[in-house]
Amino acid sequence: MSKVTHESTDVKLVVNKVSIDISNELYRTYKFPKNEKVKINEPKTLYVTENGNHEIIDQLGTGHTIPKGWLQIRKKVKEGTFHFGNKEENCGNC
């Protein structure tokens, strides 16, 4: 768990978030009701907030907030990497 701290002149906010490395993904697409979609190219880091939102930093350093309520996440990973965990977890009976 990483600790994110924001300081201003009179406010200090500390929020604990889980940080997940998703830099093996070429892109991820969130599908919402009514077939609305949000696609993020080259995501790097995913933070899951306490209320279920996804906050993503991409390779360019741009931040994206995806509100909870999505129905599906589709993603494509870089060649030689795996969607979930390591090779043994992804290969079934290989």
- Give yes or no for residue 6 having a pLDDT over 50: no
Gap between the terminal Cα atoms of the chain: 33
- Give yes or no for residue 75 having a pLDDT over 70: yes
Q: Retrieve residue 70's tokens.
A: 């999505």
CA–CA distance, 78 with 51 (Å, rounded to integer):
30
- Give the start-end residues of each E strand in the chain: 2-7, 12-21, 25-31, 37-41, 43-48, 54-58, 63-66, 72-77
Q: Read off the pLDDT of residues 20-73 as tens digits, 9 standing for 90 and up.
A: 999 999 999 999 999 999 999 999 999 998 889 999 999 999 999 999 999 999
